[in-house]
Structure 1
Amino acid sequence: MRIGAHIFYNGKYKKGTVYIEKNRIIDFIENDVTPEITIAEGFINAHTHIGDSFIDEVPRQGIMELVGPGGFKQRMLESANDKRIIDGMKKSINIMKKENVRAFFDFRESGIRGLKLIKSIKTGKIRAMVLSRPSGIYYDENELDYLLENSEGIGMSSISDYDFNFLLKISRRTKDKGKIFSIHGSERVREDIDKIMELRPDFLIHLHRATDEDLDVVANNKIPVVITPRSSLFFGININFKRFLERGIVIALGTDNAMIATPSIRVEMSFAYYLGMDPIDVIKASTIAMDRFINNRNELYFFKSKPGEIVKNPYLAPVKKLNIENGIL
C-alpha cells in the first residue's frame, strides 16, 4: 500500500507518502502530499490523579477547597480504605486501556501508602509513569529515597503549598537520583517563575496564571507544559492555547483529577479541539509531546481518517496496528 499520511512518531510530526506491507511500514518519503490517513503512536495521558477515582461526586468548590492541602480530596483519600481506592484506580486504568493509551503520568499523593497502592495494580501493556509525593511538609530523606527508588520521580502540587527550601531539597535529591521532577505552576494564582525554574522541573502543569514574560522563560528553557482543559474549565478557567504554541512551548494533554474528569484522553482531545486547538496540535499533545520520557514506541496505530475527524469523534478507533522498520521515520 502507498498512501499519503499524517505521521506522529518519535517526538515528531511528519507528512508524506508511506509504504506499508503486511502491516509494517517499510518506507516513508516526506513531501507535500495531501494525506488521507493518520498514523500515530499510542496515546499518552500526561497528567492524572487516579487515586481519587473512587469519589463519585464532588462539591462545587474552588481549587484550594477541593484539591489543596487539607481540602476535600485529601480528606476523602485519608478516610477511604485501600480496596476502595484500588478498585477506583483499576476502573480508570481500564478506561485508558480501551483507548490505546500506552502510558500515563500519575501524580501520586499519600506518600509511601499511595505509591504502594498503585504498584499493587497490574497495568499490563499500559505504562504507569508514577510520580510520587512525600506525605508531609518536613524533609524526610528516608521516605524520599524510598519513593525515588520505586517510582519514576516526584510530582509536587505547587510552590505556594510548601516551604521553598523543602521543595529545593526534594528537587536536588530527585535530580541526583536521575529521576523526573515535575510541579504544578501558576494554577490558581501567578507564582514566581524564577523560583519554579530553580527547581529544575522536567515538565510543568497548568501555568494558567503565568504572564507572557513567565511563558517566555518556560519557552527559553524548553520545558513542556501539560494542560487539562476539562478540569480547568470545571474551576472556571479557559485555556488560551495560542499563548503557549506561539512561543514554541510543547503542550501535552492530561485529564487531571479522575473525580472531576474521567481519564479519557480521547474525550480530552475532543474538548481541546472544541475549545479552539488545531487538530494536528491536539494529536501532537496526546501522542508525541512526552516522548522524551518514554521509549515504548514499538506499535503505531492506523486511522483511516484525518486528524480533524479523530479529534471530533472520541469513539473513532484505529483500524489496525502497524510495526515499523528501524530508521524509517
Structure 2
Amino acid sequence: MIVEGTVLRGPALDPVEGRVVFEDGEITAVEEAAVHSNDVVLPAFVNAHTHIGDSIAKEAGAGLSLDELVAPPDGLKHRLLDAATREETVSAMRRSLRLMGETGTAACVEFREGGVEGVEYIREAASGLPIDPVVLGRESADAMRESDGFGASGARDADFDSLRTTTREADKLFGIHAGERDPHDINAALDLDPDFVVHMVHPEGIHYERLADRQIPVVVCPRSNLVTSVGVPPIRELADRTTVALGTDNVMLNSPSMFREMAFAAKLSDVSATEVLQMATVNGAEIAGLDCGVIDPGRPAKLLVLDGDSDNLAGAQDVVRSVVRRAGAADVKDVIY
C-alpha cells in the first residue's frame, strides 16, 4: 500500500515530497518523488501520560485544588472512580481511547488506578481498538506484574523503594510524578532512578543537573498544569538537558488531544515546531519502549495523514509548523495502524 504527499521522514521529521510504501504493517520504503497530493504524512502520535479512567467525570471539580482533584486516596477523581460501576468506567474509557485512535494517537502511556482490576478495565476498554495502551499499574506489585510497569503517584505519597526494585527485576517501566506542585519531591523521585518522570513544573538547579547527568526523560503536560494552577513546565530548559515528551494527563481536566497539547506547548515555550512534534511522536515512543513514532523503512506503519488542502491547512508555508500549531481533528484524512 502507498500514501503520498509531504512526508515527515525520520527522527528529524524532515519534510520530503514523495510516498511511503508499506506492506503487512511495516514500512518498506520512503521514496522521494514528485507526487500530485497535498496530504501531509507524519508518524502517529504517542501520548506519553494519560489517566483515562477520569473519562467518567469530564470537567468535574471546577475550582478545586490539585490535591482536592486527584490526590490519592480521597481526591475527587478517586471518589468518583470508586462510585462508578465497572461497565460505566470501561465504557467511558473506551470512548476516550476510540477518540484518540481516530485522531491519530497510536499509543498512550496510562497510569492506571485500581490495582489489578484497574489494569483489567483498560485492557477490556482497548479491546479491538487500534490504539495500544502501555499500561502502568498502580497501588500494588500485583498490578505492576499484570501490566507493563508501575506508575507511581509521587515520592511524598508512599515509599516506592521496594516497588521500584521489583519493577526493575521484572524489566518493566517505572514512571513517577514529580515536581508538579513544588520542588520538594523531585530529589526523592530521582533517587528511585525512574525510567521517566512526569510534570517537572518546578525543577531547580540541582534537579536540572541530575536529569542531565542521568538522562532521565521527562513527560510534560502543560495544559493540565495550567488548569490545576500549579504553573507551567520550563519546557525549553528541560529539553536542553534531556528527552522531553508530551502527555495530556487527566481526561477529567482536558481532552486527550495531541493536537491541542502540541499547539499549547508550542505557543507557551521557546521550542521549535519540530521539537514539539518530536515530543508528540518519537520521544514518547522512546520513553515507552515502542518501535513507532518514526517514518523509516523497517518501522511499523503507524501513520497519520492530514489533508493539506483543508480550509484550515491550505496555503501553509511551513508544513511542520502548521501541523503543530494549526492542525486539528477536522484535518485528519486517514489513520493507518
Question: Which secondary structure state, in structure 1, belongs to the residue aligned with residue 291 of structure 2?
Answer: coil
Match of 1:43 in 2: 45
Displacement of 1:64: 1.1
Structure-2 residue corresponding to 1:187: 180
Residue of structure 1 equivalent to 2:78: 74
Q: Does 1:88 align with 2:92?
A: yes
> 1 CA distance for matches of 2:257 and 2:6?
29
What are the equivalent positions in structure 2 for 1:7-156 lying under 5 Å apart? 7=9, 9=10, 12-15=11-14, 17=16, 19-20=18-19, 26-27=29-30, 39-56=41-58, 57-69=60-72, 70-121=74-125, 122-134=127-139, 144=141, 146-156=142-152
Report the equivalent of 1:282: 276
Distance verdict in 2 for CA 1:85–1:199, change over 3 Å: same
Give the unaligned 5+ runs of structure 1.
30-35, 135-142, 324-329
Write out aligned runs for 1:175-324 (5 A). Answer: 175-236=168-229, 237-247=231-241, 249-276=242-269, 277-292=271-286, 293-296=289-292, 297-299=299-301, 300-303=303-306, 304=308, 306-311=319-324, 312-315=326-329, 317=331, 319=333
Letter aligned with residue 228 of structure 1: C
The amino acid across from 1:129 in the alignment is V
CA distance in 2, matches of 1:91, 1:17: 35
- Does structure 2 retain, via aligned residues, the 8 Å contact 1:2–1:17? no
State TM-score, norm by structure 2. 0.81
Distance 1:4 1:55 in 2: 39
Q: Call closer, same or farther: CA 1:308–1:199 in 2, change over 3 Å.
A: same
AA of the residue aligned to 2:199: H
Q: Distance in 2 between matches of 1:188 and 1:244?
A: 17
Root mean square deviation of aligned Cα: 2.6
Instruction: Report the CA distance shift for 1:264/1:15 in structure 2 as closer, same or farther (over 3 A).
Output: closer
Identity of aligned residues (%): 27
Per-residue CA deviations over 1:22-58 (Å, capped at 9, x if unaligned) read 67773568xxxxxx98542110111000101111322
Aligned length: 301
Partners in 1 of 2:112 and 2:20 — Cα distance? 42
Counterpart Cα distance in 2 of 1:190 and 1:283: 27
For 1:283 and 1:170, the matched residues in 2 are separated by 33
Structure 1 residues 95, 3: CA separation in 2 closer, same or farther (over 3 Å shift)? closer
- Supply the distance in 2 between the matched residues of 1:132 and 1:2 (Cα, whole angstroms): 40
Give the CA deviation at 1:76.
1.2
